[in-house]
Chain A
Amino acid sequence: MALKTETMILNMGPQHPSTHGVLRLELELDGELIVNVKPHIGYLHRCFEKHAEAMSYPQVIPYTDRMDYLASMYNNFGYVIAVEKLLGIQVPERVEYIRVIMGELQRIASHLVAIGTNGLDIGAFTPFLYLFRDREKILSLFEMTCGARLLYNYMWVGGLSHDIHPDFVRLTKEFINYFRPTITELNNLLTFNKIFIERTANIGVLPLDTAINYGVTGPSLRGSGLAFDIRKEDTYSIYDRFDFEIPVGQGLVGTVGDSWDRYYVRILEMEQSLRIIEQAIDQIPDGDVKAAIPKRIKPPKGTVYTRVENPRGELGYFIISDGNLNPFRVKVRAPSFVNLEVFGELCKGHLVADVIAILGSIDIVLGEVDR
């Protein structure tokens, strides 16, 4: 007679050091193997979309900061592009260049946290400290520009809140020179560390067709081997003027699309971001940082959907305007929200300990998942 066995339900979170915030996972276990994962979200639902309907167009910008708080600059970026498209205005060249530089610096800062916490969850504490040290350097560049460390409210509709500091160009170049070698250091310390590879190679393999069907974007999709990047695919701002590559996962130490590939794509992306900044920083033209736009922003009736490549993937803003001062509806296509959906698929058949390695590699920000 066969013994009847039952699966066990294990609850993980919302208070758990490795869920990157307040995510609750319901794990169904067969011994140590994962049969099923059910994420429960909404513990940080801060009603962004309701606020957007109650505020005027420029007032929404600080709330976009608070969605993906690791990539605030980029959230501003996506939103102002959408509103500018709705208004049909062009921003000055100088603004475009500064926006791109800020966006790419933000991408590096965000990837540093992603990589650091991914390592930290698996047990590598030292890289976390190193990476936060480097991140502070970027934050001080931001602070010099707009006075804030984390939530900037920097990009405004039709321009920027402040011009850059006279020292900004010099310090950014210094940062680039400083940061290039630290990537190599990081590779020696963590990327090609044997323990790290053992924990992440061949873990949580995401096949390409599953990724596309689930709508996964960003480094998670590129880790699966498709060079899909909105900066090239559906180019916006002035990204078409720069020369950069789109790194994809190649299965260097395991299978294409495993956790290590997703991790490594981020490292390579930081190098590409440095390249973009290097090209842009020398070309910043002189000029004003505010376009001539009316004080009261009142777009015509209509809808617009724009998307940008946020450090986590495709960030889309769908705005419906009814011709008033407030947006009628703002829907955010949050990359983390969509990327987290596939998480259950990735975990099936792995061990409990792999859950956090996989979660770290898809890099979610709960503020954006729940909005």
Chain B
Amino acid sequence: MALSGVEIFKHLPKTNCKKCGHPTCLAFAMKLAAKQASLDACPDASEDAKKILGESAAPPIRGITLGLGDKAVKVGEEICLFRHDKKFFNPNVFAVAIKASEAGDAAAKKIDAVKNSEIDRVGQKLRVDAIAVTDEGGDAAKFASVVKQVVDGAPGVPIILVSKDPATIEAGIAHCADKRPLIYAATAENAEAMAKIAKEKKASLAIAADGLDALTALSEKVKGLGVDDLVLDSGARKVKDMIEHYTIIRRAAIKKNFKPLGYPIIAFAGRDNSVSETMAAAIGTMKYASIIILNNVEKWKMLALLSLRQNIYTDPQVPMQVAQNVYKVGDAKDSSPLMITTNFSLSYFIVRGEVENSKVPAWLAVMDNEGLSVLTAWAAGKFTAGKIAAFITESGVEKNIKHKELIIPGYVAILSGALEEKLPGWKITVGPREANGLPSFLKGRA
């Protein structure tokens, strides 16, 4: 639980030396309580103070980073159970499993798929985030050869080493020890050996147990062995168990500050049927899994999963926005109609969808109104005749069209007179109030 300013103050040196940049230790303690300062700023804090305060300040779910450099991914540090309570912060990682038996061509194909997986979605670049090299039979040499193939073939892509055999992990990690891999997994049987490797190689360590009680016990054991960066697998494979276990883990961590389960979750969504695999991974994405292992990463599957992840991890407090631009819908020509709306993404999606439905090619001018809907933007003075006129003039849309007619949303019909004044030579047409009126409106004109 977070400590109050006064409780924190008790652990500070109380010399008021000001080295932290604050006039007194108490003032600094208040800042710490508000999470507006870090204890590092006090050079004289005792080791004890660091330990106590560090733990109280620690997020309820520990942040874990896989890999290094620009492809590194961070998971964990979530603070809520429902995205509408605040938001989900660190998007889950999608990793493809490459089995040791796939060494060679099959592995090369998957490595290529990962390298070519990047797609651009609403301005974000998304891709398969990591590769999980998976041992099935204890052939350590073969396992290591696939790890090497991955390190060489997909440089920088974070690696997960999947084997319950410490010797196999040793063989594999020899090729990626300096790349901050994740080891999967320590179990009750091999915990000491796995913890030793993780500590030596500064790797994070997943722990796998059957059920939440066993997982709790194993978590405490491995932490006791000196490993801090843990990832949890409760053994859930069916979607019902995933939702139940992951909800309990997340609740225990966030609502009860239950430390043994305060770590990111790893889910194995692999299924023989690729659609079932996609749906299981979707459940993991929505219900608190931080690392999701897939058997295959077909392009269609990743498009669906990455889109879902983007939806779920969007900040619900900030209305999603579309970039200001004049968008071409269908095969718009210089004679096609020009319409305007605001850049609230839902307005844009709905308007665009209805224009597409109408099958009438058109130009859709999307104006930056800080993500507000048409009526809200108008009410807030952000969708006024003057601003619309300036946007249309500066957008350069006149180069694309040979007419001078602008269709405005029916809700702001009131603007049409003022707009004709501000845009001399333009004809302003009032469109329907709701987007679902667009198909008949557009078809009626065509």
A and B associate in one complex:
no
Residues of A whose CB lies within 8 Å of any CB of B are none
